[in-house]
Amino acid sequence: MLTGHLPNEHGIHAYSPSYSTISLEDTFIDDLDEHRSVAVNANFNLNTRQGFRDLFDQYNAISFTRFGFLDGGVDLVSFAANHDGGSSKYAKFLLKAARERSLLPSLVNGAAVKLYETGSWFPAVPRYADYGAQNVVAGAKDALSSSNSGRPVFLYANLMEAHMPHRAVASYDRSLYSTPASWSSDEVPNWEMNTASDFDQYSSYVENLRELYRASIDYLDRVIAEFLEWTEREIDTETTVIVTSDHGENLGYDYEDNLIGHAAGGLSEGLLHVPLLVFNPPDEFDLDENQPLSQLDVGELCRAIVDGSSPRLPRTEVPAERVAVPGRDTLSEELEEFEYWDRAERCVYQDDMKIVWDSLGRRRKYAVGRSPSREELVDGEDGDEPVVNDFSTPLSEYKERMNERYGTDVVLVDDTVDAGVKERLKNLGYG
């Protein structure tokens, strides 16, 4: 989205997930030189340690309630994973907070997490707070309404409600799901389901997941609608809002190869076909609804909105790419067929067809529709990689280059990865 380039070009992917390898000049934000750039973010994968915040003039991190409300406190997940229970645990927690000079945010976050855990004490009670959406919107409103610089604002807001983990939330529409309040998507690891020989045994889990996913989307609709109404009511300057997503989710349907989540491979329509809505664009902004669009085009949309012009989108083919499985370093080396799950994949949309190929020499052709996000296999013959202008380096060549640079060995989690990081990745569906 930010660079307008595919992973093999900008170099940020599962092998090298740090944003420190790109500069502001590599993004379209640099073209908006009259704007003050602000990010309000609830996404752990865009945390401050990975350099993402350096791309913005102002950066506000909004944690999952599970990880605490306030930024700067003791890392609760890591602390819990590395300390046994008992009264001494609380003394150690206070001592660590005092040493880090983060006593107030640590106490607030600790109290919030203990309250969050009431769901385990009272199974009939849904989670009391959302996954940061209200806090993100509050931060976005503050950024738009309290600017003292007089400069227009480019705001990036990342909401995580539709992401793993899923659990009943008090603010969800109860008529949309029958899932018990005590149920959590953490109950069964995604990899256990995605590699199982009998997927039908998880039918109850899948139905609960689908219902809560639907409820989370409905909740986001309501939160974003309220934000749009607020901008029209409270912001005097012309404000355009783009709503989109970095990925969708596999929900175990047959046409998704019965996959769950988004980390287990595949370039399904469930993952790639996401909304892109433009609210209140300038009068001169003209976007053909039948024009093929990619997340590579988001920068051009923003530039056209700022310039008061129509976006230049001569695209006839829409490309997508996945270099390796997310969280690959946290997977057990005992995972069967790791090379298959870690394969690099590319696809290109041409009219109503999608051609998918991977680094193992597989090539598939699918018939796709606009909605819902379904696909139908048309041709499953293996073959050479098609020639597509958007891909400057052949896929198998790029995958081999990454393996040579970063290694092909899979790291054992228990031996090398901090327990807190492991737990967070698991909660996000990567473990």
In this predicted model, what pLDDT tens digit does every residue of 369-389 receive, in sequence order? Answer: 766 789 999 988 887 788 777
Does 59 have pLDDT greater than 80?
yes
Residue 175 has, within 13 A of its CA and on its CB side, a CA count of: 1
Cα–Cα distance measured from residue 327 to residue 101, given in angstroms and rounded to the nearest whole number: 32
Does 408 have pLDDT greater than 70?
no
DSSP-assigned beta bridge partners for residue 58: 38
What pLDDT, on the 0 to 100 scale, is given for residue 150?
Answer: 78
Average pLDDT over residues 292-301: 93
Q: Which two tokens stand for residue 133?
A: 């959406």
User: Tell me: the pLDDT tens digits for 142-193?
Assistant: 999 876 567 899 999 999 999 988 989 999 999 999 999 989 898 898 888 9
What pLDDT, on the 0 to 100 scale, is given for residue 146?
Answer: 75
What pLDDT, on the 0 to 100 scale, is given for residue 410?
Answer: 46
What pLDDT, on the 0 to 100 scale, is given for residue 423?
Answer: 57
More confident residue, 265 or 262: 262
* Displacement of CA 328 from its chain's centroid (Å): 16
User: Tell me: the pLDDT tens digits for 264-286?
Assistant: 878 999 999 999 999 999 999 98
Q: Which two tokens stand for residue 181?
A: 């309040």
Residue located via tokens 């989540």? 261
**SS3 category, 317:** coil
Give the model's confidence band at 427: pLDDT under 50 very low, under 70 low, under 90 confident, else very high: low
* pTM of the predicted protein model: 0.83
What pLDDT, on the 0 to 100 scale, is given for residue 315?
Answer: 81
37, 188, 289 from 309: Cα distances, Å: 21, 49, 16
**SS3 category, 276:** strand
Ranked by mean pLDDT, the top range of 127-136, 210-219, 289-298 is 210-219
User: Tell me: the pLDDT tens digits for 188-241?
Assistant: 988 889 989 999 999 999 999 999 999 999 999 999 999 999 999 999 889 999
Does 426 have pLDDT greater than 80?
no
Average pLDDT over residues 317-341: 79
One DSSP character per residue, 45-94 reads GG-GGGTGGGGSSEEEE---GGG-SSTTS--HHHHHHHS-SSHHHHHHHH
35, 48, 57, 231, 266 from 156: Cα distances, Å: 12, 15, 11, 15, 28
More confident residue, 40 or 410: 40
Instruction: Name the residue among 77, 230, 245 with its Cα closest to residue 160.
Output: 245
What pLDDT, on the 0 to 100 scale, is given for residue 425?
Answer: 54
Give the model's confidence band at 430: pLDDT under 50 very low, under 70 low, under 90 confident, else very high: low
Provide the mean pLDDT of the chain: 84
Q: List Cβ neighbours of 151 (8 Å cut-off, separation of 6 or more).
A: 34, 35, 36
More confident residue, 78 or 391: 391
What pLDDT, on the 0 to 100 scale, is given for residue 351?
Answer: 83
Buried b (16+ CB within 10 A) or exposed e, 183-207: bbbeebbbbebbeeeebeebeebbe
What pLDDT, on the 0 to 100 scale, is given for residue 49?
Answer: 64
Contact in structure between 3 and 10 (CB atoms under 8 Å): yes
